[in-house]
Each structure stands twice: as C-alpha cells, then as structure tokens.
Structure 1
Amino acid sequence: MSDAELPIGPDPSLLLVDDDEVFLNRLARAMEKRGFVPTRALSVAEARVALAQRAPAYAVVDLRLEDGNGLDIVEALREARTDARIVVLTGYGAIATAVAAVKMGATDYLSKPADAEEITRALLSRGETLPPPPEMPMSADRVRWEHIQRVYEQCDRNVSETARRLHMHRRTLQRILAKRSPR
C-alpha cells in the first residue's frame, strides 16, 4: 500500500517536534506533499505552546530534545487529544524506551533516520498489525554508519570523544569515518 492509498482522515493537522532544524524542515515539506498540515517545534517548550493552541490529530516527536524528553510531549498530547496518532523518533533505539513510548500513548516508535514514507505509514496504520516493511530499507551497515555520524556530529566532530561514547577504539573509528557511506 503506497502513501497515496492511506487515508489521512478529516483532520490533517500534524505536530513535528525535533531539535534538528534541517531534518524538521525537510520532514515538514515531505509531509505537506502527503496531505498533512504540519506545525513545527524545535523544543519541548515550543511544542507545549503549539499544543495549547491546538491539539493535532497526528504527531511525530523526537525522543531526545535539547530542553527535555519527547515523552513529555506524548503524554501532554495524549491528555489533550486521546485519538491522536503519535510516532516517536529516536537515534538511540532501545527496547526499554520503545516500551515506555508506547505505554505513554505513542502509536509507533521508529529509529532515525526514518524517511517520510515510513513515518506516514506508521501514522496512518490501523489495527494491531504492523505497517508493511519499507520497499528499500537501509542496510545494517548504513544504519550503523548513520548512527556513528550522528554521534560524531553531536560530539562536535571530536574523534576521541565520539570513540569514548561509542565504546570503540579511536583508530577503528577513524578508519570508519575515513570511508564513504555504505549504500
């Protein structure tokens, strides 16, 4: 089933919460093309303001934000609108956080980098069944490389600090960073 075949419903309002402004803007444009009406928030504080103005039918919330935890937004949205469809995104996928997100009211939980097609499927899927797998999922090597790049950027491109946080040998990390991204 393609994105075009999934019904959005009568209320296309969508709250996007992520502290990565470039990703947030790209995702907002992609979701507009799919028929949603997105509102952007770069922080928990901005998301709370947006929720106070209008509780959206759909939300995509990053788990870790600079000023707090995305689960706070999930909880606030669930209180404001019980029928909201909420997808939690994270760069640090772990079973414990996925369970916590679903218990707090998230509809689904996706690891970054997730594309607009995956997010749309997760937002619009109904019932107890999982959405179908993506047509061209990223390889395990690509997911690993993306995670390493994200942590490297968060450490201000400091190889030693990145290696310490990833529990890797610094020279191993340097070799990985010197290579091109896998497909």
Structure 2
Amino acid sequence: MDPDPHDALGDDRTLLIVDDDKPFLTRLARAMETRGFAVDTAESVEEALAKAKSAAPAYAVVDMRLGDGNGLDVVSAIHEKRADCRAIILTGYGNIATAVTAVKLGAIDYLAKPADADDIYAALTRTRADRIDPPENPMSADRVRWEHIQRVYEMCERNVSETARRLNMHRRTLQRILAKRAPR
C-alpha cells in the first residue's frame, strides 16, 4: 500500500503563495491544493505582509522580486510571527548572496524559476535527512555564464553598453557572446 502523500504535511496545511505573475500564481495554487494544502495567495509584498500578520501560514512560497518590493521581507515577517514556517524563495535572478540571505531569514530552500509544482512540493516537504539527488543533466558552466549574461542583458533593457559596464566586460566581447547560440 502506498503511503499517503498528505502525511508529509502534518496537521497545519496552510500555504501562502506570493508571486506577481498571475497565471503562474493561479496554476501553482491549484496544483498545491490538489496536493493537500489550504492555499492563500498574494500578488504583492504589501498584501502578503498583511496576510502573514493576520494568520502566519505553516508553509510559504515567495517570489524574490515583486512589483512593490522584495520577497525576503515577506519571509522575514512570516518568521517573526511563526518561526516554524517552511518558506521557499522562488527567483529568476538567483545568486549565492541572495540565497544565503534567504536562508538566514528563515527560508528552507531557494529554487530557480521556472520551478514546477513537483519541485516546490518536494522542497516544502523534504526533511533534513532527505538528500537531494544531483540533476541528471546539469547546465554546463558555459551555459550558466550565458544564462547570467542574458538575464543581465534583459534587466538592462537590451542595452549592450550598460550590460557590458555592469558585467565589467568589453562591449565588443559582449556583442560576440550575444551573437552566438546558447551553449549546451
């Protein structure tokens, strides 16, 4: 007989999902409800802080960058009210410094977007004894570098000169990298 997946959640199954991407928020909320969570959603830091202060959830999935602020503020506020909350930060702009900050503020995991519902559920219910299997096909170092350059390029609104300045790279070198296909 298969074990009930809802047993991993415990008695309090309240989950707050905070993301300003409405379609993603709706899909994730539905997926988490089918996995046994009592889901509440917020689309801004302000809305999430209000919900966290009135009733801090047992679980939280919080986007790092929101239209009105930083998701780390939400994680911090939740942990002030409820220290045992299992919070996860989702981000498309991952780096080591923010991952460390997220963990210091109480997040249990830090997932890069796009993360699917299975990844998020696994991260929320994982115990310290569970080991994460390394990915079968991890990105190469060249691909990680290329992805980072693309992210900064988009953040700079596709301005090559500004991107090159922020990456401390010569503009022509950056232009050559941008002209090539993505490495595998």
Q: If the length of structure 2 is used for normalisation, what is the TM-score?
A: 0.73
Q: Counterpart in 1 of 2:124? A: 123
Q: Counterpart in 1 of 2:174? A: 173
Q: Which secondary structure does the structure 2 equivalent of 1:107 belong to? A: strand
Distance 1:156 1:9 in 2: 45
1:46-69 deviation digits (Å, cap 9, x = unpaired): 211332453222112233434333
Structure 1 runs of 4+ aligned residues shifted over 6 Å read none
Identity %: 62
Write the mapping of 1:74-153 to structure 2, written as runs, cut at 5 A: 74-90=75-91, 91-94=93-96, 96-110=97-111, 112-116=112-116, 117-127=118-128, 130-153=131-154
Count residues in correspondence: 178
Q: Which secondary structure does the structure 1 equivalent of 2:133 belong to? A: coil
**Greater Cα radius of gyration, structure 1 or 2:** 2
Distance 1:97 1:38 in 2: 26
Distance 1:142 1:5 in 2: 35
Q: Counterpart in 1 of 2:51? A: 50
Contact persistence 1:44–1:65 (CA under 8 A): yes
Gaps of 5+ in 2: none
Letter of the 2:99 partner, please give it. A
Q: Which secondary structure does the structure 2 equivalent of 1:47 belong to? A: helix
Q: If the length of structure 1 is used for normalisation, what is the TM-score?
A: 0.73
Distance 1:28 1:167 in 2: 40
Query: How large is the RMSD of aligned CA atoms in angstroms?
Result: 3.1
Letter of the 1:81 partner, please give it. R
Distance 1:14 1:72, change over 3 A: same
Distance 2:139 2:147 in 1: 10
Letter of the 2:95 partner, please give it. G
1:15-67 deviation digits (Å, cap 9, x = unpaired): 22234556545544554565545443332112113324532221122334343
